[in-house]
């Protein structure tokens, strides 16, 4: 029972994280790194990373075939996060990235550099 609750919570947090990451990438395509419009999505993404890190020391956003996972937990795709999931899947495929791992040492400046890399 406890494992199922953990997986459901982690899946929900993963969905929130993937949505925030998508918004952050899309904002970065429009605005410069120093633009005020970039700050709120950056902070929301960082908060969602921290929420996932509260559960474990690190986590990975993984691409397996056509699906996104937070570690071994599949992120459920629905109408709310369909665009975010498709965008992240395509970007990971284009860049040849199978997973992105985040740990407690991540900082806002690092996240900024990653987004604009």
Torsion sign (Cα): 92, 97, 100, 105: negative
pLDDT at 3: 85
Q: Read off the tokens for 44.
A: 């929301």
pTM recorded for the entire structure:
0.93
Give the Cβ contact number of residue 21 at 10 Å.
23
Per-residue exposure over 45-67, b if at least 16 CB sit within 10 Å of its own CB, e if not: bbebbebbbeeeeebebbbeeee
User: Given phi > 0 = left and psi -120 to 50 = alpha, else beta, which region is 35?
Assistant: beta
pLDDT at 100: 96
pLDDT at 66: 94
pLDDT at 34: 87
Q: Which burial class, exposed, middle or buried, applies to 70 when counting CB atoms under 10 A from its CB (0-12, 13-18, 19+)?
A: buried
Which residue ranges make up each domain of the chain? 2-115
Round to whole Å and give the CA distance between 9 and 22.
20
Q: Phi and psi at residue 56, in whole multiples of 5°?
A: -150, 170
Q: Tens place of pLDDT for every residue, the chain, 117 residues?
A: 668 888 899 999 999 999 999 999 999 999 988 899 999 999 999 999 999 999 899 999 999 999 999 999 999 999 999 999 999 999 999 999 999 999 999 999 999 999 988
């Amino acid at each position: 029972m406890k494992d199922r609750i953990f997986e459901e919570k982690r899946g929900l947090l993963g969905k929130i994280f993937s949505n925030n990451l998508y918004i952050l990438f899309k904002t970065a395509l429009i605005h410069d790194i120093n633009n005020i419009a970039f700050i709120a999505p950056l902070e929301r993404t960082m908060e969602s990373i921290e929420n996932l890190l509260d559960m474990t020391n690190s986590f990975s956003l993984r691409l397996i075939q056509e699906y996104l996972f937070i570690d071994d937990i599949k992120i459920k795709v629905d109408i709310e996060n369909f665009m975010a999931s498709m965008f992240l899947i395509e970007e990971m495929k284009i860049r040849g990235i199978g997973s992105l791992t985040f740990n407690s040492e991540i900082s806002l400046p690092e996240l900024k550099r990653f987004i604009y890399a």
